[in-house]
Amino acid sequence: MSPDILTVLIEKYLKTQQNQYIFSWQGGEPLLMGLDFYKSATNLQKLFAGPGSVIGNGIQTNGYLIDDEAAEFFSEKKFLVGISLDGPEELHNRFRHIPGGDNAFSKVLSAVRILQKHNVEFNTLTVVTSAHVKKGKTVYNFLKDIGSYYHQYIPCVEYDRNGKKLPWTIDGKQWGIFLCEIFQLWLNEKQRPSIRLFDSIISVLLGLPPGICQMEKNCCQYFVIEHNGDVYPCDFFVKDYTLLGNITKDDWQTLLDSEKYKRFGAQKTLWHSDCNRCEYLRFCAGDCQKHRLPGTKSVLCEGWKLFYKECLPEFKRLIKNSSDFFNQA
């Protein structure tokens, strides 16, 4: 992204009326831009921020380029750093390879230690692949052991052009079993880590917004701004047919009011007719559109049902005994 496009993006966003302004920096690998890019971004945020504006920055990285200078900057500017970490070495390195043969796991673990040294707030993002089948307990305990108390788990579901499942894809039942495994460990903790999915389920049970888009009934949640200023509705749908406009040419409100954006958001409720009779619909909302076509069930449906059938009663018990939950959370 050029300095000119970065300036336009930040200026237009900060002119909108928001309770809080959130910038989520992603790539590819966003640290390839160099630290000066993010120093410039925070300076522009300060320049264009209105009185009393609350601005948050998050960055999702593989960690390979994190050093003391970067960690000190993230600490000073209060960045939330998401570290991609798929578990212990044999799991992390299973599908993450570095050209030249460097050990990906060693690099990311080094990054975690540097972030901890500089008191940077971080969470771990674990991509759950076919290699993680029946390894939920192993992954959960590993993340806790290295000092991660904010976990996010996302299922890896990918197919080739012919619709054939790729080797790292996890199926629905395997995903459900994985979630059940980590839930049972989490449930019995005296001090429970924050697991994004579990936090969202608690929020829904309390009558609050879930906080994650897959559980919402509309996919108008955020904008993706590409390096050239092109605007899309979702990072899973950066496609020619979902292009909304360009931040250098289009007004922010025009993009929000775009019929294409609204249609994309409304597609979330085009789930299978069976979903209307499902007792878990309020939590699943048909799942992420990436995992289904309009009018079809999510490829992870079996796993979601397995997880909610086994674990939802315990979530409800925690809510009923709220002092038990909130004293330990």
Per residue in 280-310, pLDDT (tens digit) is: 999 999 999 999 988 899 999 999 999 999 9
- Residue 61's beta-bridge partner residues? 83
pLDDT at 293: 85
What is the per-residue pLDDT for 327?
53
pLDDT score, position 323: 55
Q: Is 171 a catalytic residue?
A: no
Per residue in 67-76, pLDDT (tens digit) is 999 999 999 9
User: 84 pairs with which residues across the strands?
Assistant: 125
Contacts of 166 (CB under 8 A, 6+ apart): 158, 159, 160
Query: How does DSSP classify residue 233?
Result: S
DSSP secondary structure code for residue 247 in this structure? T
pLDDT tens figures, 133-189? 999 999 999 999 999 999 999 999 998 988 888 999 999 999 999 999 999 999 999
Among the listed residues 67, 68, 102, 235, the single catalytic one is 235
- Cα–Cα dist 226/5, whole Å: 10
- The residue behind tokens 């395997």 is 174
What residue ranges of the chain have pLDDT lower than 50?
Answer: none
pLDDT at residue number 328: 53
Q: What is the pTM of this model?
A: 0.92
- DSSP letter at 170 equals -
Give the count of alpha carbons within 13 A of 47, CB side only: 13
Q: What percentage of the chain has pLDDT greater than the value 90?
A: 91
